[in-house]
Amino acid sequence: MNIQFPERFTWGAATAAYQVEGAAFEDGKGKSIWDVFSHVPGNIEDDATGDVACDQYHRYPEDIKLMQELNLQVYRFSVSWPRIYPEGTGVVNSKGLDHYDRLVDALLDAGIDPWITLYHWDLPQALHERGGWPNRDIADWFTDYALTMAERLGDRVKHWMTMNEAWVCSYFGYRDGNMAPGIKDHKQALAASYHFNLAHGRAYNAMKAMNPNLKVGITHATQQHRPLDGKPESLALAEFLWQENNGVFMEPIFSGSYPEAIIDRYPESIPVITDADLIEMNNYDFVGLQYYCDNLIRDGKLVAEKLPEFEYTEMGWPVTPDGFYNNIMEYVRRYKPKELAITENGMALDDEVDAEGRVRDVRRQKYIKAHLESVHRAIQDGAPLTGYFAWSFMDNYEWACGYRPRFGLIHTDYATQTRTIKDSGRMFAEIIRNTGW
């Protein structure tokens, strides 16, 4: 097999603040909804919290050396909003800003380009108490925060992602309640989803007006639904779920419209949609797609159990690399995007360091190569893909699953904070060095 990516293709790995930083109550940081949610007994496996996580807040110099060993060209990380605005709005915490300033400089000194996610789920608790994402005012709160960051770091950071996976925050955070802030209310979930899009658009316009050199995008947990039979009810469900999980978040950004199927299905819960809002939302320089697996459908229903014909990960997700190709091409077909990047893709296992100090994660190596083959094929077939970021740089706090699933290219020993590059990390470093294999 000879897989060669374009010379200018960008290679990186990603993390998020609450998952790696720790220092949850240091240097003036305010509480986020995850600080509160993770401390409620029973919400998280083993009642794990992100109080310490990988302690990257203090250990970033050591981690940057490891990024160099992995040949990473880009490190995608998120800023913790309550580190910057402990109360969500108002007074800026200069120690928080200084931290990201130092991190960005250290990355640049190491020859690694920083890409920043502004919102990776850690809403200031103070803003939750003022209504959070279901409150339309959040578009302005978020824009003020985005401008503060762009003003401070925009001279050194070109790539910005406003939201990470608004789908997950809206539906798991406000509809199903299994993620922070733990609300179960469909109407609030749809309002939140609308305001994620609005906040993205408003921040996009404001950031570009401040500094036209910035590239401002958004990342999306793309969902691909695979009917295992040809039954009409299976095909219909796949199409409806495309609209509910992708269309609601992507159609306004790409096309300035809102999926009719959702307006028709939920007349009671749908927020007021205006043309002015849609014009504001319809802005992006690039969209980051994040893909892990297909959702399987049979007999007109989502398949909940494990099927013998699929391999499953530590998250209980099937391994479906060909679905990744279909998913990317579906974006190209439906929305004709001008630029896409794969901002997350990866596999959870229960890796251990062996007696020789190695992590022999053969299954992850296969997963990465198989998914990269799909990316490569999509590029050959015209998809405007400019980069691929592994999730994750290192094992970290996997939200409601605590520390059990390990997604990293680097193993984290949480008791000692020892880092060990896994075999997959070494393989990824070689792929980057050769722009393929």
> Any contact of residue 223 with ligand GCO (CB under 6 A)?
no
347 vs 421, beta carbon nearer ligand GCO: 347
> Any contact of residue 164 with ligand GCO (CB under 6 A)?
yes
97 vs 161, beta carbon nearer ligand GCO: 161
Q: What's the min distance (Å) between Cβ of 407 and ligand GCO?
A: 6
Q: Binding residue per annotation — 243?
A: no
Q: What is the DSSP string of 324-384?
A: HHHHHHHHHHHH--S-EEEEE----B-----TTS----HHHHHHHHHHHHHHHHHHHTT--
> Any contact of residue 168 with ligand GCO (CB under 6 A)?
yes
Whether 344 is catalytic is: yes
Whether the CB-CB separation of 424 and 364 falls below 8 Å is answered with yes
> Any contact of residue 35 with ligand GCO (CB under 6 A)?
no
Among the listed residues 21, 244, 280, 344, the single catalytic one is: 344
Whether the CB-CB separation of 160 and 118 falls below 8 Å is answered with yes
Q: Please say whether the dihedral angle defined by the alpha carbons of residues 14, 374, 282 and 211, taken in this order, is positive or negative.
A: positive
Among the listed residues 9, 11, 16, 393, the single contact to ligand GCO using CB under 6 A? 16
Whether 87 is catalytic is: no
Of the listed pieces 161-169, 203-211, 237-245, 421-429, which binds ligand GCO according to CB under 6 A? 161-169
Q: At CB < 8 A and 24+ separation, what contacts does 146-149 make?
A: 146/118, 146/203, 146/206, 146/207, 147/203, 147/206, 147/207, 147/210, 148/84, 148/85, 148/92, 148/97, 149/79, 149/84, 149/100, 149/116, 149/118
Q: Binding residue per annotation — 164?
A: yes
Q: Binding residue per annotation — 391?
A: yes
Q: Which residue's Cβ has the minimum distance to ligand GCO?
A: 165
278 vs 289, beta carbon nearer ligand GCO: 289
Among the listed residues 165, 244, 251, 280, the single catalytic one is: 165
Q: 201 in helix, strand or coil?
A: helix
Q: What's the min distance (Å) between Cβ of 357 and ligand GCO?
A: 26
What stretches of 123-243 adopt beta strand conformation (E)? 159-164, 215-221, 224-227
> Any contact of residue 295 with ligand GCO (CB under 6 A)?
no
Among the listed residues 165, 277, 280, 351, the single contact to ligand GCO using CB under 6 A? 165
Q: Binding residue per annotation — 399?
A: yes
Other Cβ atoms less than 10 A from the Cβ of 120: the count is: 25
Other Cβ atoms less than 10 A from the Cβ of 178: the count is: 15
Total residues binding ligand GCO (CB under 6 A) = 11
Q: In terms of Cα–Cα distance, which of 345, 352, 351 is closest to 317?
A: 345
Q: What residues from 360 to 399 belong to the interface with ligand GCO (CB under 6 A)?
A: 391, 398
- Contacts with ligand GCO by CB under 6 A lie at 16, 19, 164-165, 168, 221, 290, 344, 391, 398, 407
